[in-house]
C-alpha cells in the first residue's frame, strides 16, 4: 500500500487479494463512520483493461500506466528483460487545473503590467513543473506552452483592441535564445523579465532507489549525505554538499567514507594565503588524510 494523507493505492499481482483488501478497508472505515468514496475508488489493471475499466490509474495528480514493449526495444530491470514499461505523466485533471489557474490569473490581471503578470505566473509554473519534472512530462509541458501562448495573446489583444498583430507581438514578445516568441519585458540596461516556459524544465530525472529498509533517521550520515546533499540536516550543510559532490569518497585517498569515519574539510588554498570557505575552495577528506596532508605541507 502507498498512502499520502487520505489517498492510497494498493498494488498486488492477484485480483482476489485486492478485492479482499477492499472489503477489509470498507469494514474498518464503517466502524469509524466513514466509507470509501465511490467516485475515487477504482479496481484496475496497470497494463490491460479490466472489466471495462481502462488500464492505469491516477494518484496525486499523476497518471500511471504500463505499456507493452515493442519487438525491437529492450528494457531490463536488475538484469531481467521486461515485456512492458511503466509510464508516469501528469494526469489530464492535473493539467486542466493548472491551466485554469494560469488562465484565471490572466483574466484577473487584465489591467496590470506585463511585469506583474509574469511575476504572478512564474512561481505557479515553476512549482507545478518541478513536481512533475521527474516523470514523462515533456509532451504535456509542450502542450501547456501552446495553451498559455494562446491565452497570453488574448490577454494582450484585449489590452490593445485597436492595435495590429505586429504591434502587439513587438510589444510583448522578444527573441531570446533563438526563440522568437518569448513573453518578456524589455528593460533598458538590464536583462528582461521573461515568462518561464514549461518545456524549459528538464523532465525524466533519474532517481537512485534507496537501499532496502534505509531511513534518513538511521544515523548513517555518509549514505544520506551523499544522496541528499545539503537537504540532509544531520550533517553540516557544507559537508553534505561536498559529500554529494565527491560521490561519498575521500578527495585525498579516494576511498569511500564509512559511517564511523571522521570527516574534515580541507582548504585547497589556505586561508592564510587568501583562501575562503566556499565550496570551490574545499574538499572533504578523512581525519587521518587531513593530518597527512598538513604533515606534507609542513615537514
β-sheet bridge partners, residue 64: 57, 88
Better-scored residue on pLDDT, 125 or 221: 125
**What pLDDT score was predicted for residue 221?**
59
Better-scored residue on pLDDT, 71 or 157: 157
- The per-residue pLDDT for range 123-132, each reduced to its tens digit, is 999 999 999 9
**What pLDDT score was predicted for residue 293?**
85
Nearest to 203 by CA among 122, 148, 130: 130
- The per-residue pLDDT for range 241-255, each reduced to its tens digit, is 888 888 888 999 988
Stretch 40-64: mean pLDDT: 89
Rounded (10°) CA dihedral 180, 181, 185, 187: -10
**What pLDDT score was predicted for residue 292?**
85
Name which of 75-89, 214-228, 236-250, 267-281 the model is least confident about: 214-228
Cα angle for residues 18, 22, 25 (degrees, 5° grid): 130
Residues of the chain with CATH 1.10.30: 221-297
Crossing angle (nearest 10°) for helices 114-132 and 138-159: 170
Q: Residue 43 in contact with residue 55, Cβ under 8 Å?
A: no
**What pLDDT score was predicted for residue 208?**
58
Handedness of CA 289, 294, 297, 299 (dihedral sign): negative
With cell 472505515, the residue in question is 29
CATH match for 221-297 among 3.40.50, 1.10.30, 1.10.3470, 1.10.10: 1.10.30
Q: Which grid coordinates belong to 298?
A: 609542513
- The per-residue pLDDT for range 182-215, each reduced to its tens digit, is 999 986 556 788 999 999 988 876 555 666 665 5
pTM over 0.75: no
Better-scored residue on pLDDT, 112 or 211: 112
Amino acid at each position: 500500500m502507498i498512502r499520502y494523507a487520505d489517498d492510497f493505492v494498493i498494488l498486488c499481482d492477484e485480483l482476489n487479494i485486492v478485492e479482499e483488501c477492499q472489503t477489509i478497508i470498507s469494514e474498518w472505515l464503517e466502524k469509524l463512520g466513514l466509507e470509501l468514496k465511490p467516485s475515487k475508488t477504482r479496481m484496475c489493471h496497470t497494463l490491460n483493461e479490466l472489466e471495462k475499466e481502462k488500464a492505469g490509474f491516477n494518484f496525486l495528480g499523476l497518471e500511471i500506466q504500463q505499456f507493452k514493449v515493442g519487438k525491437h526495444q529492450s528494457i531490463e530491470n536488475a538484469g531481467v528483460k521486461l515485456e512492458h514499461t511503466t509510464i508516469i505523466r501528469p494526469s489530464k485533471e492535473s493539467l486542466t487545473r493548472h491551466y485554469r489557474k494560469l488562465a484565471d490569473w490572466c483574466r484577473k490581471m487584465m489591467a496590470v503590467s506585463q511585469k506583474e503578470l509574469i511575476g504572478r505566473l512564474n512561481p505557479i509554473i515553476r512549482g507545478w513543473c518541478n513536481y512533475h519534472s521527474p516523470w514523462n512530462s515533456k509532451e504535456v509541458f509542450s502542450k501547456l506552452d501552446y495553451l498559455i501562448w494562446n491565452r497570453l495573446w488574448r490577454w494582450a489583444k484585449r489590452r490593445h483592441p485597436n492595435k495590429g498583430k505586429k504591434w502587439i507581438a513587438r510589444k510583448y514578445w522578444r527573441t531570446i535564445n533563438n526563440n522568437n516568441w518569448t513573453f518578456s519585458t524589455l528593460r533598458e540596461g538590464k536583462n528582461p523579465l521573461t515568462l518561464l516556459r514549461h518545456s524549459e524544465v528538464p523532465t525524466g530525472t533519474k532517481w537512485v532507489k534507496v537501499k532496502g529498509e534505509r531511513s534518513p533517521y538511521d544515523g548513517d550520515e555518509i549514505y544520506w549525505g551523499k544522496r541528499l546533499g545539503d537537504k540532509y540536516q544531520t550533517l553540516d550543510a557544507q559537508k553534505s554538499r561536498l559529500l554529494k559532490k565527491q560521490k561519498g569518497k575521500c578527495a585525498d585517498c579516494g576511498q569511500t567514507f564509512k559511517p564511523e569515519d571522521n570527516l574534515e574539510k580541507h582548504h585547497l588554498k589556505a586561508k592564510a594565503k587568501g583562501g575562503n570557505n566556499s565550496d570551490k575552495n574545499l574538499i572533504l577528506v578523512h581525519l587521518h588524510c587531513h593530518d597527512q596532508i598538513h604533515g606534507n605541507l609542513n615537514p
